[in-house]
Structure 1
Amino acid sequence: MKQPIVIHTEEDYEQAQQRVAELSAAADSAGKESELAALAEAMLAWELRRDTAEE
Structure 2
Amino acid sequence: MKEPIVIHTEEDYERAQQRVEELNAAGESGDKERELQALAEAMLAFELRRDDAQD
TM over 0.5: yes
Question: Normalization by structure 1: what TM-score?
Answer: 0.97
Q: What RMSD over aligned residues (CA atoms) do the two structures have, in Å?
A: 0.6
Distance of 2:14 and 2:7 partners within structure 1: 10
Q: Number of paired residues?
A: 55
TM-score, reference length from structure 2: 0.97
After TM superposition, the runs of 4+ consecutive aligned structure 1 residues lying more than 2 A away are none
Amino acid at match of 1:14: E
Q: Alpha-carbon deviation of 1:29?
A: 1.9
Q: Distance in 1 between matches of 2:11 and 2:28?
A: 27
Q: Which runs of 5+ in 2 are unaligned?
A: none
- The unaligned stretches of length 5 or more in structure 1 are none
Query: Percent identity between the aligned chains?
Result: 75
Give the superposition deviation at 1:15: 0.1
| Counterpart check, 1:42 vs 2:11 | no
